[in-house]
Amino acid sequence: MYAVKNRYYKHSKLDEDRFRQILELFCQDLTAVQCAKQTGVNVRSVNSIYLKLRDRIAHWCESNASGTPGLNASRNSEFTETVGPTYIDSTSDGVIGVYLYLMEDQVYCALLNGALPSEPVVCEEGHWREYPVGVDVRRDMRLKIKNSTFQSAHNAGDIERIEDFGHFLRMRLTKFKGLRREKFYFHLKESEYRYNHQNQDLNALLLGMLGETPIE
């Protein structure tokens, strides 16, 4: 079977109309199983498309996070094999360490690969603030925020934004009823993208992104 014309998915056997339908359901934050039921496309194919979309979103987030040092290095190729450096607390092997970078009304995320700093980092020149937190991926996706973060927060608004993003992340990810560590980064970056574009048409944004550089 030959590939059909699809401006958003190179070499795909899926026609463009069906792909746009899947993309719309992805933007509505439906799971792959729910999407498959509505489109008639098998779950394996939908999962493959979802993964490609999340990877593209992660790349977009990495390339557009200017002013946040170290953010582009957060895609760790050894993340699936090592457990020590990626955890915020060695006594809780279900908690993954994450840096949250706050800049104006935006939140950027990176995996924590190293020792947990004792205090947040503030860069007045770049107007970003860096906060280490943990995400419990084996229980309820709640943020684990150390007391030092509250005590050393740049301002009360930062804590409110951290907690707001934590609530947003938890509401999104608990529907998966468990999440494999190797997939966590992509879900984290997707959540970042959705959070920062809550008041925009996500479907139109992704169509524009994929129109410039299709997935393959």
Across the range 131-135, mean pLDDT stands at 82
Residue 147 scores a pLDDT above 80: no
The neighbouring-strand residues paired with 202 are: none
Residue 87 scores a pLDDT above 50: no
| Dist. CA 205–CA 126, nearest whole Å | 26
Q: For the chain, what is the mean pLDDT?
A: 78
Asked if residue 56 lies in contact with residue 210, where contact means CB atoms within 8 angstroms, the answer is yes
* Strand boundaries in 74-157, DSSP class E: 95-103, 106-111, 121-123, 128-136, 143-144
Beta-sheet pairing, 143-144 with 128-136: antiparallel
Better pLDDT: 84 or 187: 187
Better pLDDT: 120 or 54: 54
Name the residue ranges covered by the structural domains of the chain.
16-63+201-212, 71-196
Across the range 196-212, mean pLDDT stands at 95
